[in-house]
């Protein structure tokens, strides 16, 4: 399993989904450049923090909830995780805009980098538990990530169809990930890979879901693809 690619893809997906507010700002010509720069800087900081919290919740939310000790200790450990996840989110944005290299993002996407940032705050037993979670997002974690988006974008979808969509989507994300060799794909190629997974999942579901329910599923996948490609398209426009 290529856990670095899963982490990078998940970061890009969350970062793209969080970036819609910035696109409307870019289209507003009535904002002075000096004010726009301040607003964009503040929005970027908020976006990176939101992306980091999404990633932290997906991968280590249960670990933090079960952590022994005072609330302050849990906050200290959480801060160590957040520092790395925010760094990854910010660097992902720079890679998408051509300001950083994929190799730089890969260097901080490994588990050992994250572990080193929190190891001093954890005891031996806690580190062993953390190590057991180091295989990248599980299927259940990926489903939880997309379940939130599915409930927002297709709130009328039945429970049975929601479960079918999530199972199928995660299956194709995993299949695409297992088909590549770590370190061989650029971020653009990773984005294209996830886009293909969305298309393949939608094509398989087309024969299993019909009527209004299918319209909701189609809207969900259309929005996923729009979110995924938005940042890259904006970067190409700015160049």
Mean pLDDT in the chain? 77
Residue 177 has pLDDT above 70, yes or no: no
Among 117-131, 163-177, 179-193, 198-212, the range scoring the smallest mean pLDDT is 179-193
What pLDDT does residue 188 have?
Answer: 66
Other residues' Cβ atoms within 10 Å of the Cβ of residue 150: 22
- In this prediction, residues 214-218 reach a mean pLDDT of 96
Q: What per-residue confidence (pLDDT) applies to 31?
A: 58
Helix pair 3-17, 33-65: axis angle to 10 deg:
130
pLDDT in tens, 148-166: 889 989 999 999 999 999 9
Span 83-109, average pLDDT = 84
Structure tokens given for 229: 């490609």
Long-range pairs of 114-120 with CB within 8 A, sequence gap ≥ 24:
114/81, 114/84, 117/80, 117/81, 117/83, 117/84, 118/77, 118/80, 118/81
* Torsion angle, alpha carbons of 157, 147, 207, 176, to 10: 170
pTM greater than 0.85:
no
Q: What is the 3-state secondary structure (H, E, C) of the chain?
A: CCHHHHHHHHHHHHHHHCCHHHHHHHCCCCCCHHHHHHHHHHHHHHHHHHHHHHHHHHHHHHHHHCCCCCHHHHHHHHHHHHHHHHHHHHHHHHHHCCCCCHHHHHHCCCHHHHHHHHHHHCCHHHHHHHHHCCCCCCHHHHHHHHHHHHHHHCCCCCHHHHHHHHHHHHHHHHHHHHCCCCCCCCHHHHHHHHHHHHHHHHHHHCCCCCHHHHHHHHHHHHHHHHHHHHHHHHHHHHC
* Whether residue 200 has pLDDT greater than 50: yes
Of the listed ranges 37-41, 110-114, 148-152, 170-174, the one predicted with least confidence: 37-41
What is the pLDDT averaged over residues 167-177? 84
Lowest average pLDDT, out of 2-6, 61-65, 220-224, goes to: 2-6
Backbone angles phi, psi at 36, to 5 degrees: -60, -40
Are the CB atoms for 73 and 107 separated by under 8 Å?
no
pLDDT band at 192; cut points 50, 70, 90: confident
Q: Taking each helix axis from N to C terminus, what angle separates 187-205 and 159-178, rounded to the nearest 10 degrees?
A: 140
Residues 17-49 pLDDT 10s: 554 444 444 445 565 655 445 445 455 556 778
């Amino acid at each position: 399993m290529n856990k670095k690619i899963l982490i990078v893809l998940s970061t890009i997906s969350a970062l793209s989904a969080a970036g819609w507010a910035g696109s409307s700002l870019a289209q507003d010509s009535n904002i002075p450049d000096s004010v726009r720069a301040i607003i964009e800087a503040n929005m970027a900081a908020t976006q990176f923090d939101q992306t980091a919290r999404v990633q932290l919740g997906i991968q280590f939310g249960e670990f933090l909830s079960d952590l022994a000790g005072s609330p302050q200790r849990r906050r200290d450990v959480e801060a160590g995780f957040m520092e790395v996840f925010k760094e990854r989110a910010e660097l992902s944005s720079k890679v998408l805009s051509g300001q950083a290299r994929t190799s730089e993002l890969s260097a901080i996407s490994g588990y050992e980098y994250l572990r080193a940032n929190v190891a001093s705050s954890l005891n031996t037993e806690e580190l062993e538990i953390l190590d057991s979670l180091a295989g990248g997002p599980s299927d259940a974690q990926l489903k939880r990530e997309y379940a939130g988006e599915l409930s927002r974008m297709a709130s009328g979808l039945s429970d049975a169809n929601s479960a079918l969509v999530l199972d199928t989507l995660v299956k194709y994300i995993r299949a695409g990930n297992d088909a590549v060799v770590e370190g061989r794909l650029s971020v653009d190629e990773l984005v294209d890979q996830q886009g293909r997974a969305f298309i393949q999942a939608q094509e398989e579901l087309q024969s299993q879901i019909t009527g209004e329910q299918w319209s909701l599923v189609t809207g969900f996948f259309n929005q996923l693809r729009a979110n995924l490609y938005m940042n890259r398209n904006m970067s190409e426009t700015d160049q």
